[in-house]
Amino acid sequence: MSIDYKAEIERLKRELDVTVVAHYYQRDEVFEMADIIGDSLELARRCKADNNPWVVFCGVGFMGQSVKVIAPEKRVLMPKIACCAMARMIDGSFFDDSVNYMIEHGIPKEDILPITYINSDATVKAKVGEMGGLVCTSSNAYKIIEKGLESGKKILFVPDRCLGQNFANSMGLKSCVIGVGECDPKEADVICFNGFCSVHQLFTVDDVAFYRNKYPDIKIAVHPECDPSVVQAADFVGSTSQLIKYVNELDPEQKVAIGTEYNLVNRMRQKNTYVLSSTKPECPTMNETTLEDLYNTLKSIEEGKPMNEIHIDEHTVKYANLALERMLEIK
């Protein structure tokens, strides 16, 4: 007999003290089952304020980890152990190498302020926290970098070179990427690690030119994980929630091509909304979670054998929490 996953998920949610959380990039059928939806900043804030002891997080690993770090008493399960490709580009030793690069190029350790994009492992966040640094998301990077600059230190930005460079450009700051061309930390304000999102790299200036040729009045809206050349050619750049707000406030007749993940753009699709790429920009790991996975995870709580639970050691929680809380304190 086949299982009615939606009905069973609804039943389990009623019977268990659990909150189902989903990022905007999840498949529609999973997204519709969630109690809390949002971008990475909203999810971190709202999970912290939520009262249920169990969290089932439909997203990628660093997002579930962030809940565990800011609310260690919660039991956090992930229907799929899905990893963000960008977050996997840096680990603790690559982070140390980046700090050493700056030291070797004449910047003493105490003059370095590390900022990590939330798309990073808890161990990297802990290293950042230990050095007095903090986390940012694509929604608040501008504010966090601005605050960071008040310290008078050089900013080491990890792991997304695009986000680091895009915000530096928008603030009129000098930036460079370690390992790419000349990168003299003494000459730059923001020194970036060479990580990137493979999904947002799909959007190109040729895609922008294609749409502008086809529809001269079209607006181009992109996520700041896109390459700086694409961001410079766009009309609007914003995080997931900022993109949603921008598109919702446009005149319904206004054509707009959006440069971000497919499931989100498809959900926003009106007759004048286009995906800014001829290749379907799906985040493969975000897309992995299915209704069956969500059901199995909830069922595992009911049966007293929780699956895919996130465990993080005390030291990592302590220092990653410092880095996350420093971000959450900045309004």
Binding site partner of 85, from ligand SF4, ligand 13P, none, Cβ cut-off 5-8 A by kind: ligand SF4
In whole angstroms, give the CA distance from residue 196 to residue 87: 9
Q: Which stretch binds ligand SF4 (CB under 6 A): 78-86, 134-142, 244-252, 267-275?
A: 78-86
43 binds ligand SF4 (CB under 6 A): no
DSSP code of residue 312: -
Peptide bond into 108 cis (omega under 30): no
Q: How far is the CB of 239 from ligand SF4 (least distance, A)?
A: 11
Name which position in 239, 263, 277, 316 contacts ligand 13P (CB under 6 A): 239
Alpha helices, H only, 71-176 = 92-104, 122-130, 141-149, 161-170
- Cα separation values, 327 from 86, 88, 95, Å: 20, 22, 19
Q: How far is the CB of 42 from ligand 13P (least distance, A)?
A: 8
Residue closer to ligand 13P by CB (options 176, 222) is: 222
Encoded one letter per residue, x for contact with ligand 13P by CB under 6 A and - for no contact, window 189-228 reads: --------x---------------------------x---
Encoded one letter per residue, x for contact with ligand SF4 by CB under 6 A and - for no contact, window 199-228 reads: x-------------------------x---
Considering only the C-alpha atoms of the chain, give the largest distance between any 2 of them, rounded to a whole number of Å: 68
For 180, counting Cβ atoms within 10 Å of its Cβ (0-12 exposed, 13-18 middle, 19+ buried), the class is: exposed
- Cα separation values, 60 from 11, 34, 134, Å: 25, 15, 20
Residue closer to ligand SF4 by CB (options 54, 196) is: 196
CB 222 within 8 A of CB 258: yes
Residue closer to ligand 13P by CB (options 198, 272) is: 198
293 binds ligand 13P (CB under 6 A): no
